Structure 1
Amino acid sequence: MDILAPIDGSDCSDRAVTFAAELAARFEAELHVVHFSDAETDATDIVLGRAREAVESAGLDSEPELSILEMDVTPGDQVGREILRLVEERGFDHVVMGHHGSGTIERAILGSAADTVVHDESVPVTIVP
């Protein structure tokens, strides 16, 4: 089994990557952690470092990766579409991701990567609040 854990540096994302790492360790699955951003910054290094710690704590040997995107006006939907592209391209069996639980207005303006992935229904998804 190949698990994709997209991360964004939020608390729920940190919980999701920890859950994904423990799930992968339990089922001897491959874990792929990806952070989508429009630029590599010091904050990006911090996000990837926290993910690396979670992966190592579960006893896995997986290096989180960074995917640089040119963001449009609905970054959540764009990231969601990029997650689905990776699922199709790399053949992931499961996605584990966090969801902020943002309100209707925030979703209407920014979109939600988790909503985009869940509503696609092409891959099983575990949402960690």
Structure 2
Amino acid sequence: MSQPYTPPSELVSAAEQSVASASPESLAQAERLYVAYGGVTGGRSAVTGATLPQFSACSVLVRAGWLAAVHAVLVQDQTASERPPQPTPEHVWDAFAHRWYLPGAKGPAIGRSSVGA
């Protein structure tokens, strides 16, 4: 039988600092995201099936993880002003590739570059 996971102390320390320095608004948003996740999974962990505790009863590492999700969304929203103009109303922003794309449009196949062709 495997040992339960014990996170490295530096991760726990960073999580404690993140939670301690978070604004009440960010913590409330993190809790809303956590509750939304629980709504999709029936109040259970999608990994273990265990009943999810109240957000305040979660480990500091879990609460810091949900805070990181909040911050990622906020950073993405803040960078919206830095995007190039949307070419057409049909174009969608790809936050991972940092570019506009047209859903359903056929582009070069992966591994086949049109550069130099």
Greater relative contact order (CA < 8 Å, ≥ 6 in sequence): 1
State TM-score, norm by structure 1: 0.25
State TM-score, norm by structure 2: 0.27
Structure with higher Rg: it is: 2
